[in-house]
Structure 1
Amino acid sequence: MRNNATKPEQMLWQQLRQKKLGHKFSRQMPIGPYFADFLCRERKLIIELDGDSHDHTVSYDARRDAYCASQGYQILRFSNRDVMENLEGVVSHIKTTLAQAHPRPLPPAGGEQVE
């Protein structure tokens, strides 16, 4: 899948790669039985791009989104058209989301209660 990236995926990847937004993103990463187009594990953020065929996969996407959300991930969804026509706006939205995203804190070591 990485080798067959669409033009919008290539454009967005150029903005996300090499920690350009201050966080590491990976492409086509597994999350349970599903794959995320772009994933920032540190912020538990998934970015999905929807192409023309998205209308035919709505129920599949809903199941995948529900599973990923149950694992604590936030999902941002953009259309290929959004990326092609407004890449700056898409990147700005991702930056804002990253700034607001907080990974779930780990429980205290040894199981002691925090007061």
Structure 2
Amino acid sequence: MKQRTFAKHLRRNMTQAENHLWYHLRAYRLNGIRFRRQQPLGPYIVDFVHFGSRVVVEADGGQHNDSESDRKRDDWMQSQGYKVLRFWNHEILQQIEVVLSVIYDTVTERDGSVCPEEVLEAAESALAEDWLKEEEDEAWGR
């Protein structure tokens, strides 16, 4: 089976933990950050990736306990400039806020184009104020 076909298969058959994490990452739900799921990356398919910061997120079950193949995979990704975050399935299912916090902190630390939410809100507020001032000036003929 080709890698892209297998990635589609994995997207349709995600684990409970992967589905739970995807619910929180999809559609820019993590403060506007875009993730891809079950994404081919070199010779591998990663669970989730943010390309801008080169952060890979893996949801691990019991089959990953001290896995040599996971170490080789992580080494390859690190050699390509990716930071790999691994979370056990039970961590994702029971402590999702902690998991999301670690992911967000890692992405924003590695990608200067991702702004903390407060910075985005301040920028939006400033733009809105400028727009209102321009509208007011036009209305008064200034």
TM-score with structure 2 setting the length:
0.68
Q: Note the C-alpha offset of 1:31.
A: 1.2
- 2:63 pairs with 1:50: no
- 2:12 pairs with 1:12: no
Instruction: Using the aligned pairs only, state the percent identity.
Output: 38
TM-score with structure 1 setting the length:
0.84
Match of 1:74 among 56, 59, 83: 83
Give the number of equivalent residue pairs. 102
Give a deviation string over 1:39-82, Cα, whole Å, max 9, x none: 11111000001101112x71100111010101100110100010
Tell me the residue number matched to 1:28: 38
The higher relative CO (CA closer than 8 Å, separation ≥ 6) is in 1
Tell me, which stretches of 5 or more residues in structure 1 are unaligned?
Answer: 104-115
Instruction: Specify which structure has the higher proportion of helix.
Output: 2
4+ residue runs of structure 1 moved beyond 2 angstroms?
A: none
Contact 1:23 1:42 in 2 (8 A): no
Contact 1:36 1:48 in 2 (8 A): yes
Tell me, which stretches of 5 or more residues in structure 2 are unaligned?
Answer: 1-9, 113-142
